[in-house]
């Protein structure tokens, strides 16, 4: 059996991974707070832990691995979004608007993450379905002297758990000294955190021994993980920004009443994603959702390939250049497979295992950048079977690759990704010919619908490439095709396309 090594945040070491039960390997990853579309940073933990899930399934067998990723559907940010919609005149109670928002955001999330080639986890618990477990856990923590009730709140007493701070490597005294948290009068200690808090009549709330209220964020994951996996399980993951306070607090809650051996054995954290060397932020204009990237014409496979190029424990930069390189490599792979690939015996099946060196690259703390180097080597050697099985383990299906890069002939010398797609100033070219763009959008939409039926995307790709070459911003979704003027928009180049 392949030996897997993983870096454990808890011990700050790369360790040989030994599951508690090789017949039931359990991994819990913190999922999104569902109030808005996922931005591309949110996709990083999803892709990283999807690759780990696939590796675990490869090594222990698909039926012996369980992956849980929750939806945080109780949160003040969700309440604030719903309140804003209500203030803007949306019909319904605040609770109904919260429900509407969380439902639609979950559907978007699954669609977007699916488009990036991620498997759906075995468990996708919604926090609202586990409120009783959260109440029970809070009550137990009070009973054991680790929490206290005050003014409708329940707070975890950080001084009651001696290892508080050990996961993120902080001491309680330092935390207090550096704390910028507002000190609520009902807290005994500024670092004490909320397990339960009161809701007003409008906010979502549930009955509890402390009055009508709702859980804090940290207790959600502790309660859901224990309910699904028991007191001890193997891996707990999430982005590095969650290590403190979220994971520190989850661990404290779950270990306080038991032992240090409880809860997750291995803690894993992905580093953060930046855009063109800068932190993503709305004010810099480099903040975009996964959906926006897809609608701009980036195939999900290209996005995934770019993500895998950087080791998960290193900060990752999303750049146009990387997207182009990824696109070129994947297009070459699709060309190598060729249209007859789907009839080849090894294709689409797991019968051909990936080369052992490839599995070992991933088993070495998910060395995806080495894995991509091997992919490029198999591509150069034109070893179709090695390439297909390796790509499959990374989450790329040969069939989808062929579909995404169907127009080998027409676009082989071009990229479907245009120049400088972001940071453009909309409407900066004064004479935007709206009618012409609307007509072309209609042609493109029609061509795309046709291609979905015939599986021949060559015409569509050609038109899309020509539009992009003319500086047109192309946004395609299932429902619509939108064209708008981008930087370098050259209306004269549209003449031939009409
Ligand atoms: P949230 O919905 O904010 O709780 O985030 C969901 C997941 O996305 C968490 O695992 C975060 O750590 C992760 N995440 C958020 N922003 C980034 C980023 N810029 N880079 C990588 N991971 C991120
Ligand atoms: Zn969590």
| Per-residue pLDDT reduced to its tens digit, 256-291 | 988 999 999 999 999 999 998 888 877 777 888 999
In the chain, the percentage of residues whose pLDDT exceeds 70 is 89
What pLDDT, on a 0 to 100 scale, did the predictor assign at position 97? Answer: 96
Cα(305) to centroid(ligand 2), Å? 26
Q: Is the distance from the beta carbon of residue 242 to the nearest atom of ligand 1 less than 6 Å? A: yes
For residue 424, what pLDDT band results from cuts at 50, 70 and 90? Answer: very low
Question: Does 245 sit behind a cis peptide bond, omega within 30 degrees of 0 on the bond before it?
Answer: yes
What pLDDT, on a 0 to 100 scale, did the predictor assign at position 423? Answer: 33
What value does the mean pLDDT take over residues 29-36?
A: 96
Cα(174) to centroid(ligand 2), Å? 24
Considering the domain architecture, whether residues 382 and 461 belong to the same structural domain is answered as no
Paired tokens of 116? 């990036």
What pLDDT, on a 0 to 100 scale, did the predictor assign at position 339? Answer: 66
Considering the domain architecture, whether residues 456 and 413 belong to the same structural domain is answered as no
Q: Which ligand is nearest to the CA of 36?
A: 1
Q: Which ligand 1 atom is at minimum distance from the Cα of 271?
A: 21
CB-based contact 86:44 (threshold 8 Å): no
d(CA 178, CA 244): 13
Considering the domain architecture, whether residues 190 and 327 belong to the same structural domain is answered as no
193, β-bridge pairs: 156
Q: Is 112 helix (H, G, I), strand (E, B) or coil?
A: helix
| Least confident interval from 41-55, 101-115, 379-393, 396-410 | 396-410
Considering the domain architecture, whether residues 163 and 91 belong to the same structural domain is answered as yes
| Residue 179 clears pLDDT 90, i.e. is over it | no
| Residue 51 clears pLDDT 90, i.e. is over it | yes
Smallest CA-to-CA distance from 208 within 130, 152, 126, 146 is with: 152
Q: Which residue in this structure is represented by tokens 């050697």?
A: 381
What pLDDT, on a 0 to 100 scale, did the predictor assign at position 178? Answer: 64
| Residue 472 clears pLDDT 90, i.e. is over it | no
| Residue 343 clears pLDDT 80, i.e. is over it | no
Geometric angle at alpha carbon 340, from 339 and 343, rounded to 5°? 135
What pLDDT, on a 0 to 100 scale, did the predictor assign at position 180? Answer: 59
What pLDDT, on a 0 to 100 scale, did the predictor assign at position 409? Answer: 45
Ligand 1: which residue has its CA nearest to atom 11?
A: 239
* Ligand 1, pocket-test mutation among 9, 29, 42, most atoms within 8 A of CB: 42
What pLDDT, on a 0 to 100 scale, did the predictor assign at position 187? Answer: 93
Q: Is the distance from the beta carbon of residue 221 to the nearest atom of ligand 1 less than 6 Å? A: no
In the chain, the percentage of residues whose pLDDT exceeds 90 is 69
Q: Is the distance from the beta carbon of residue 308 to the nearest atom of ligand 1 less than 6 Å? A: no
Considering the domain architecture, whether residues 129 and 241 belong to the same structural domain is answered as yes
Residue 474: phi, psi to the nearest 5?
-110, 120
| Least confident interval from 147-161, 202-216, 454-468 | 454-468
Q: Which ligand 1 atom is at minimum distance from the Cα of 280?
A: 19
What value does the mean pLDDT take over residues 138-161?
A: 97
Q: Does any domain span residue 209? A: yes
Q: Does any domain span residue 69? A: yes
Q: Is 195 helix (H, G, I), strand (E, B) or coil?
A: strand
Considering the domain architecture, whether residues 446 and 413 belong to the same structural domain is answered as no
Q: Does any domain span residue 183? A: yes
CB-based contact 244:275 (threshold 8 Å): no
Query: Which of 412, 427, 442 is where one domain is finished?
Result: 427
What value does the mean pLDDT take over residues 436-450?
A: 79
Q: Is the distance from the beta carbon of residue 32 to the nearest atom of ligand 1 less than 6 Å? A: yes
Q: Is the distance from the beta carbon of residue 238 to the nearest atom of ligand 1 less than 6 Å? A: yes
Return the higher-pLDDT residue of 153 and 442: 153
Considering the domain architecture, whether residues 112 and 214 belong to the same structural domain is answered as yes
Q: Please list, residue by residue across 187-211, b when 16 or more beta carbons sit within 10 angstroms of its beta carbon and e when fewer do.
A: bebbbbbbbbbebeeebbbbebebe
Considering the domain architecture, whether residues 333 and 196 belong to the same structural domain is answered as no
For residue range 89-100, list pLDDT tens digits in order: 999 999 999 999
Note the pTM of the prediction, 2 decimals.
Answer: 0.82
For residue 497, what pLDDT band results from cuts at 50, 70 and 90? Answer: confident
Q: Is the distance from the beta carbon of residue 300 to the nearest atom of ligand 1 less than 6 Å? A: no
What value does the mean pLDDT take over residues 74-78?
A: 93
Give every CB contact of residue 112 below 8 A, 6+ residues apart in sequence: 37, 38, 43, 289, 290, 291, 294
| Residue 82 clears pLDDT 80, i.e. is over it | yes
Query: How many domains, in total, are found in the chain?
Result: 3
For residue 145, what pLDDT band results from cuts at 50, 70 and 90? Answer: very high
The CATH number covering residue 200 comes to 3.40.50.620
Return the higher-pLDDT residue of 409 and 470: 470
Ligand 1: which residue has its CA nearest to atom 5?
A: 32
| Least confident interval from 21-25, 341-345, 444-448 | 341-345
What value does the mean pLDDT take over residues 380-400?
A: 94
| Least confident interval from 70-84, 152-166, 338-352 | 338-352
Q: Does any domain span residue 289? A: no
Q: Which ligand is nearest to the CA of 220?
A: 2
Cα(129) to centroid(ligand 2), Å? 15
Return the higher-pLDDT residue of 435 and 464: 464
Q: Does any domain span residue 283? A: no
Considering the domain architecture, whether residues 328 and 227 belong to the same structural domain is answered as no
148, β-bridge pairs: 155
| Residue 413 clears pLDDT 50, i.e. is over it | no
Q: Which ligand is nearest to the CA of 246?
A: 2
What pLDDT, on a 0 to 100 scale, did the predictor assign at position 419? Answer: 43
Considering the domain architecture, whether residues 228 and 349 belong to the same structural domain is answered as no
What pLDDT, on a 0 to 100 scale, did the predictor assign at position 434? Answer: 66
Ligand 1: which residue has its CA nearest to atom 2?
A: 32
Q: Please list, residue by residue across 460-473, b when 16 or more beta carbons sit within 10 angstroms of its beta carbon and e when fewer do.
A: bbbbbbbbbebbbb
| Residue 430 clears pLDDT 70, i.e. is over it | no
Q: Is the distance from the beta carbon of residue 239 to the nearest atom of ligand 1 less than 6 Å? A: yes
For residue range 216-248, list pLDDT tens digits in order: 999 999 999 999 999 999 999 999 999 999 999
Neighbours of 111 (CB within 10 A): 14
Q: Is the distance from the beta carbon of residue 33 to the nearest atom of ligand 1 less than 6 Å? A: yes
What pLDDT, on a 0 to 100 scale, did the predictor assign at position 405? Answer: 84
What pLDDT, on a 0 to 100 scale, did the predictor assign at position 452? Answer: 77
Considering the domain architecture, whether residues 266 and 355 belong to the same structural domain is answered as no
Q: Is the distance from the beta carbon of residue 81 to the nearest atom of ligand 1 less than 6 Å? A: no
Query: Which of 365, 400, 427 is where one domain is finished?
Result: 427
Classify strands 147-150 and 232-239 as parallel, antiparallel or unpaired.
unpaired
For residue 431, what pLDDT band results from cuts at 50, 70 and 90? Answer: very low
What pLDDT, on a 0 to 100 scale, did the predictor assign at position 410? Answer: 41
Sort residue 338 into left (φ over 0), alpha (ψ -120 to 50) or beta.
left
| Residue 132 clears pLDDT 90, i.e. is over it | yes
Q: Does any domain span residue 312? A: no
Which DSSP string corresponds to 364-421? BT--HHHHHHHHHHHHHTT-HHHHHHHHHHTT--HHHHHHHT--HHHHTTS-SS-S--
Q: Is the distance from the beta carbon of residue 237 to the nearest atom of ligand 1 less than 6 Å? A: no
Q: Taking the alpha carbons of 222, 96, 33, 168 in that order, is the dihedral positive or negative?
A: negative
Considering the domain architecture, whether residues 423 and 437 belong to the same structural domain is answered as no
Q: Which ligand 1 atom is at minimum distance from the Cα of 34?
A: 2
Q: Does any domain span residue 193? A: yes
Classify strands 316-318 and 273-275 as parallel, antiparallel or unpaired.
parallel
Q: Does any domain span residue 307? A: no
Q: Which ligand is nearest to the CA of 222?
A: 2
Smallest CA-to-CA distance from 401 within 324, 331, 450 is with: 331
Which range marks the domain in which residue 354 is found? 318-427
What value does the mean pLDDT take over residues 213-217?
A: 97
| Residue 186 clears pLDDT 50, i.e. is over it | yes
Q: What is the DSSP letter of 242?
A: G
Q: Is 193 helix (H, G, I), strand (E, B) or coil?
A: strand
Q: Is the distance from the beta carbon of residue 279 to the nearest atom of ligand 1 less than 6 Å? A: no
What pLDDT, on a 0 to 100 scale, did the predictor assign at position 344? Answer: 66
Return the higher-pLDDT residue of 418 and 202: 202
What pLDDT, on a 0 to 100 scale, did the predictor assign at position 254? Answer: 97
Return the higher-pLDDT residue of 466 and 63: 63
What value does the mean pLDDT take over residues 198-219?
A: 96
Q: Is 187 helix (H, G, I), strand (E, B) or coil?
A: coil
Mean pLDDT over the full length of the chain: 88
Query: Which of 405, 427, 449 is where one domain is finished?
Result: 427
Q: Is 243 helix (H, G, I), strand (E, B) or coil?
A: helix
């Amino acid at each position: 059996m392949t030996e897997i090594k993983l870096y454990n945040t808890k011990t700050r070491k790369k360790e040989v991974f030994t599951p508690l039960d090789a017949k039931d390997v359990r991994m819990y990853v913190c999922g999104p707070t569902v109030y808005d579309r996922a931005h591309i940073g949110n996709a990083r933990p999803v892709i990283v832990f999807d690759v780990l899930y696939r590796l675990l399934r490869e090594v222990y067998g698909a039926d012996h691995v369980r992956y849980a990723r929750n939806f945080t559907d109780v949160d003040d940010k969700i309440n604030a979004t719903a309140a804003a919609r209500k203030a803007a005149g949306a019909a319904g109670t605040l609770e109904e608007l919260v429900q509407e928002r969380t439902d639609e955001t979950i559907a978007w999330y699954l669609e977007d993450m699916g488009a990036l080639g991620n498997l759906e986890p075995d468990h996708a618990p919604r926090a609202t379905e586990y409120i009783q477990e959260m109440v029970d856990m809070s009550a137990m923590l009070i009973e054991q002297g680790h929490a206290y009730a005050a003014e409708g709140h329940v707070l975890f007493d950080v001084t009651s758990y001696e290892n508080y701070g050990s996961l993120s490597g902080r001491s309680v005294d330092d935390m207090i000294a550096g704390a910028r948290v507002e000190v609520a009068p009902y807290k005994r200690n500024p670092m004490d955190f909320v397990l339960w808090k009161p809701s007003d009549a409008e906010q979502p709330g549930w009955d509890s021994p402390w009055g009508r209220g709702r859980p804090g964020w940290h207790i959600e994951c502790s309660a859901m993980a224990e309910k699904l996996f028991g007191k001890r399980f193997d891996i707990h993951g999430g982005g590095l920004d969650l290590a403190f306070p979220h994971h520190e607090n989850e661990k404290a809650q779950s270990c306080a009443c038991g032992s240090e051996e409880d809860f997750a054995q291995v803690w894993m954290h992905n580093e953060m994603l930046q855009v063109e060397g800068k932190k993503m932020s709305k004010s810099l204009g480099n903040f975009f959702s996964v959906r926006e990237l897809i609608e701009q014409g980036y195939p999900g496979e290209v996005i995934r390939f770019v993500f895998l190029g950087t080791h998960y424990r290193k900060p990752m930069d999303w750049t146009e250049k990387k997207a182009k390189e990824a696109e070129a490599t994947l297009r070459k792979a699709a060309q190598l497979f060729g249209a007859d690939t789907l009839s080849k015996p090894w294709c689409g099946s797991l019968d051909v295992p990936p080369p052992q060196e490839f599995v070992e690259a991933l088993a070495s703390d998910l060395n995806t950048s080495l894995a991509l180097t091997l992919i490029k080597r198999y591509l150069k050697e034109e070893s179709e079977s090695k390439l297909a099985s390796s790509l499959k383990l990374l989450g790329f299906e040969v069939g989808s690759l062929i579909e995404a890069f169907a127009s080998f002939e027409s676009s082989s010398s071009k990229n479907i990704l245009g120049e400088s797609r972001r940071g453009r100033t909309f409407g900066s070219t004064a004479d935007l010919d709206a009618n012409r763009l609307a007509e072309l959008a209609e042609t493109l939409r029609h061509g795309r619908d046709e291609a979905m039926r015939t599986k021949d995307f060559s015409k569509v790709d050609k038109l899309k490439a020509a539009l992009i070459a003319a500086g047109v911003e192309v946004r395609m979704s299932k429902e619509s095709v939108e064209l708008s003027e981008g930087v370098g928009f050259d209306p004269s180049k549209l003449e031939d396309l009409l």
